[in-house]
Structure 1
Amino acid sequence: MKNQKMELRAEHGNLSKMLEISRSVYSSLNLEEALCLILLQAARIMKAQICSLRLLDKEKGLLKMQASYGLSNDYLKKGPLELGEGVVGKVVEEGRLISISDMKKDPQYKYSDLAQKEGLSSLISSPLKVNDEAIGAITVYSAQPHKYSRQ
């Protein structure tokens, strides 16, 4: 019973934060500002240090950075990813969520040296879909090792 109450409180808090995100997006006329607000709130909800949003350029087959929160210049210099390349490329190509609890050891994550330098440990990346088609991905990075649930 105690655990259920705690889960309900946490869920209520997340819903309140999502409402705040919606209000921010609707009140903003600038897409870039709106996306940055979404990433900031996602980082807060997930208790993470970094968030990024990449969108697919279908003609070139590249995932381009559209917005970010907390990313270092080294990460930003990585440039676009090819569809299917790395974790985010797979997320978009396969249209499914991928989480990694230890980026430094997981072979799926191709920038483990950069993750170590940045002090990052875990990530969760989710496809952004329109009409059941993945058009990009939002990725949340954390300094703490974390096994994410499907919630």
Structure 2
Amino acid sequence: MADIATQTEAKSLHEIIKISRMVVSSLDLDEVLQKILLYARELVETPAGSIALFDETTSTMTLHAGTGLSEEFMMRDSWHVEAGGLTRKILDQRQLFIVDDTLDVSFFNNPLALAEGIRSLIAVPLCIQDTIVGILYLDDFKPRTFDASACEKLAILASFASLSIANARLHEKTSRLASTDGLTGLFNHRQFKRILAQEVTRTQRYSSEMSLLMIDIDNFKHFNDLYGHPCGDRVLTNVARLLQDVFREADHVFRYGGEEFVVILPLSGPKDAVIAAERARDTVESLSVACHGVDHPLGVTVSVGVASLPHDADSGDALLDVADRLMYQAKNQGKNRVHTPQSIKLS
């Protein structure tokens, strides 16, 4: 009998190690979290669960994955970890926290969880040495006693899960740094070329429209020469922030290089593109930038060239060339204006 029990335990541990290897096989954070949640729920046989990641700098938990829970519950996507609270206690203890019946413990007083009908749970801190990654929650809607052997295996899985989350986060950060401009946080020139090719292909495949805006900050050399490069950088970051705010979520804003920005507008024809360009130009014109050592706020304007596919070009490179030439025409004819290949009546 002892041999059979030993063999069963060995087989079970082999299975959990196999599952753990599958968890660490991906570098996509969303995929990693979904795998962890799936395998953990299967291990302890719970109908629901979630994973919240922890930001130690802000002491904030953010819900990143969940299943078996209501939309109302999932909408509470972040919360501050209060000193003395249950979440803080779980993070500090760094060991499985098990509640067989939430109605029997006075410390379980989360109104959202109680309204959800959660009656039993396991909270698994996800840690790597001294670093807290987050918490894995496994929930049931009835009181129950969790199997001790399954909980031991869950602790093993949690160790692999923590490492996998850390690796995925590092990969995500590295990928983001490689694709974004260090000063403004916008996508960089490399990402622009990649996304432009994708959007052109999609536009042509579905016989649709797209537009491109080339935006240049007027008199930018003046800011650098007269007030210094830190002031020029401040102008760039302020304009970048405004451009991110003024365009749609579906649009793509890039720092093309120097003081130039480019915006890709999917599913937008010439008329909509001009409206968007004028809105951006007008918003930037209202900007005042305060620079250290300058006794007055600085006004900023931009010149914009607008081109659309398939109306003004038949390829991504040609579209960029048209928008670029139009932007320089706008600068040569007075700056702070939008130029298009043709006059478009806005009505």
TM-score of Structure 1 vs Structure 2, range by shorter chain: 0.7 to 0.9
Aligned-pair CA distance for 1:124: 0.9
- Assess if the C-alpha contact under 8 Å between 1:83 and 1:92 holds in 2: no
Number of the residue aligned with 2:118: 120
Number of the residue aligned with 2:133: 135
Whether 1:105 aligns to 2:104 is yes
Deviations 1:23-51 (A, max 9, x none): 2541x342201210110111011101112
- Assess if the C-alpha contact under 8 Å between 1:128 and 1:138 holds in 2: yes
Aligned-residue sequence identity (percent) comes to 22
Q: In structure 2, what is the Cα distance between the partners aligned to 1:133 and 1:139?
A: 18
Segments of structure 2 that go 5 or more residues without pairing to the other structure are 153-347
Number of the residue aligned with 2:54: 56
Number of the residue aligned with 2:93: 94
SS of structure 1 residue aligned to 2:64: strand
Deviations 1:53-72 (A, max 9, x none): 11111222111112222222
CA RMSD of aligned residues (A): 2.9
Alignment partner of 1:33 out of 31, 35, 54: 31
SS of structure 1 residue aligned to 2:53: strand
Alpha-carbon distance change, 11 to 141 in structure 1, aligned in 2, over 3 angstroms: farther
Q: In structure 2, what is the Cα distance between the partners aligned to 1:30 and 1:78?
A: 23
SS of structure 2 residue aligned to 1:60: coil
Number of the residue aligned with 2:162: none
Number of the residue aligned with 2:45: 47
Structure 2: which amino acid aligns with 1:63? M
Q: In structure 2, what is the Cα distance between the partners aligned to 1:109 and 1:98?
A: 12
Q: In structure 1, what is the Cα distance between the partners aligned to 2:102 and 2:14?
A: 29
Q: In structure 1, what is the Cα distance between the partners aligned to 2:10 and 2:48?
A: 22
Alpha-carbon distance change, 14 to 78 in structure 1, aligned in 2, over 3 angstroms: farther
Query: Which entry has the higher C-alpha Rg, 1 or 2?
Result: 2
Structure 1: which amino acid aligns with 2:51? L
Number of the residue aligned with 1:12: 11
Structure 2: which amino acid aligns with 1:75? F
Q: In structure 2, what is the Cα distance between the partners aligned to 1:69 and 1:134?
A: 23
Alignment partner of 1:146 out of 138, 144, 150: 144
- Assess if the C-alpha contact under 8 Å between 2:51 and 2:66 holds in 1: yes
Which of the two has greater helix per residue? 2
Q: In structure 1, what is the Cα distance between the partners aligned to 2:94 and 2:77?
A: 21
Alpha-carbon distance change, 113 to 38 in structure 1, aligned in 2, over 3 angstroms: closer
- Assess if the C-alpha contact under 8 Å between 1:25 and 1:37 holds in 2: no
For structure 1, which segment, 77-86 or 57-66, has the greater mean C-alpha deviation from structure 2 after superposition? Answer: 77-86
Deviations 1:58-104 (A, max 9, x none): 22211111222222212212332322475334211332321101013
